[in-house]
Amino acid sequence: DPGVFANRTLAEADPHAILEGMAIAAYAVGSQKGYIYVRSEYPLAVQTLRKAIEAARSMGFLGEKIFETSFSFDVELRLGAGAFVAGEETAILASIEGRRAMPRSRPPYPAQSGLWGKPTLINNVETLANIPVILVKGSEWFASIGAKNCTGTKCFSLTGKVNNPGLIEVPMGIRLREVVFEIGGGVAKDRVFKAVQVGGPSGGFLPEQLLDLPIDYESLTKAGAIMGSGGIVVLDDTSCMVDTARFFTDFCVDESCGKCTPCRAGLYKLYQILDGFTHGEGSVEDLKKVEDLCEFIKEASLCGLGQTAPNPTLTTLRYFREEYVKHIVDKKCPAGKCFKNMDGGAGDE
């Protein structure tokens, strides 16, 4: 995911927490084999994980009859080519099996029939890394952190137009305002805050009036965002919301595996319309058509990529509709980003 690095940092900085969590999970479900699927573009993570696996084997933490018990478990590292869709759980299975990383229809679910037709447990590395400390400190300790309806902590990649970008770990239920203005130090260069995207490239854009929204699954979903891959991107008043929606739609078009028509053709059509808006094309009536197209893509797509890809467009229409109208009716971009190749210059400049 562009701008999201929480999982990579965890693999680079604390690989043994991941391995220990995998071993505990394997013991719980009766598994003897585990795989860590990592992008080949992360050479430090790959190197660190390989060394950690070798060290764990040499110390007897992995392998046959661990600690002279009947439990055996080993871990293998598998490298992916970097496709965004390969983060989808069934696409991961296909890639590990040596096939193209394409999602499959469900049921059967991976827990029933997964890798090579065997029941398979698939988890994010952050989830697995939490297991050892929860076992040591207890479930009540973990449940005491965060909100009542969403306990524990969450790692986020805080990026964009913010003074203190970086990797943060915060309790669930924390307010977006605290993340942006206290942890993040506010908007960089004393610019005016405009929006925050939560959830990675498929996350929704939330305006200033929603900064007091708690970060939990239910609240984000109602607002049109997602927890996603843990990306938080801050935008200032130099950002054009129409162009931003176009950018992330273009990203999803490139990353679509092409298996299902709603995602493959629907997202490309959506991109064409949004690109037209940035050149002053279309009509106000087209905005309703865009919303209908987005809802169709969300409902009919096979996997999470297509189901969440319309979020940037839907939320910018929901909270920043006036910018779309400005582009279409007035042929102006309030942020001065669009129309640069047209007569009349860049937006209002």
Rounded percentage of the chain residues whose pLDDT exceeds 90: 95
The pLDDT, as a whole number, for residue 341 is 54
- Classify the C-alpha dihedral 9-13-15-16 as positive or negative: negative
The pLDDT, as a whole number, for residue 220 is 98
Structural domain boundaries enclosing 285: 241-330
Mean pLDDT score of the chain: 96
Q: Note whether 95 and 114 are same-domain residues.
A: yes
Question: Does residue 340 form part of some domain?
Answer: no
Q: Note whether 42 and 124 are same-domain residues.
A: yes
CATH number at residue 253: 1.20.1440.230
Question: Does residue 349 form part of some domain?
Answer: no
Q: Note whether 65 and 48 are same-domain residues.
A: yes
pLDDT in tens, 206-219: 999 999 999 999 99
Q: Which region, left, alpha or beta, applies to residue 128 given φ > 0 means left and ψ of -120 to 50 means alpha?
A: alpha
What integer is the mean pLDDT of 263-274?
Answer: 98
Q: Can you tell me the distance from the alpha carbon of 242 to that of 159, in angstroms, rounded to the nearest whole number?
A: 20
Distance from first CA to last CA of the chain, Å, rounded?
A: 33
CATH number at residue 81: 3.40.50.11540
Q: Note whether 260 and 196 are same-domain residues.
A: no
Question: Does residue 313 form part of some domain?
Answer: yes
Q: Note whether 113 and 216 are same-domain residues.
A: no
Task: Flag whether pLDDT at 224 surpasses 60.
Answer: yes
The pLDDT-based confidence of 119 (bands split at 50, 70, 90) is very high
Q: Note whether 29 and 114 are same-domain residues.
A: yes
What integer is the mean pLDDT of 156-166?
Answer: 98
Q: Are 315 and 205 in contact (CB under 8 A)?
A: yes
Query: Which pTM was predicted?
Result: 0.94
The pLDDT-based confidence of 348 (bands split at 50, 70, 90) is very low
Q: Note whether 275 and 192 are same-domain residues.
A: no
> How many domains does the chain fold into?
3
Q: Note whether 51 and 117 are same-domain residues.
A: yes
Measured CA to CA in angstroms, residue 334 lies from 163, 239, 320, 325, 338 at distances of 24, 9, 11, 11, 9
The pLDDT-based confidence of 344 (bands split at 50, 70, 90) is very low
Q: Note whether 202 and 84 are same-domain residues.
A: no
Question: Does residue 337 form part of some domain?
Answer: no
Question: Does residue 213 form part of some domain?
Answer: yes
CATH number at residue 181: 3.10.20.600
Q: Note whether 158 and 181 are same-domain residues.
A: yes
Q: Which region, left, alpha or beta, applies to residue 250 given φ > 0 means left and ψ of -120 to 50 means alpha?
A: alpha
Q: Point out the domain boundary residue: 177, 206, 236.
A: 236
Alpha helices in 213-260 (DSSP H): 217-223, 241-255
Q: Can you tell me the distance from the alpha carbon of 185 to that of 171, in angstroms, rounded to the nearest whole number?
A: 18
What integer is the mean pLDDT of 98-126?
Answer: 97
Q: Note whether 128 and 163 are same-domain residues.
A: no
The pLDDT, as a whole number, for residue 130 is 97
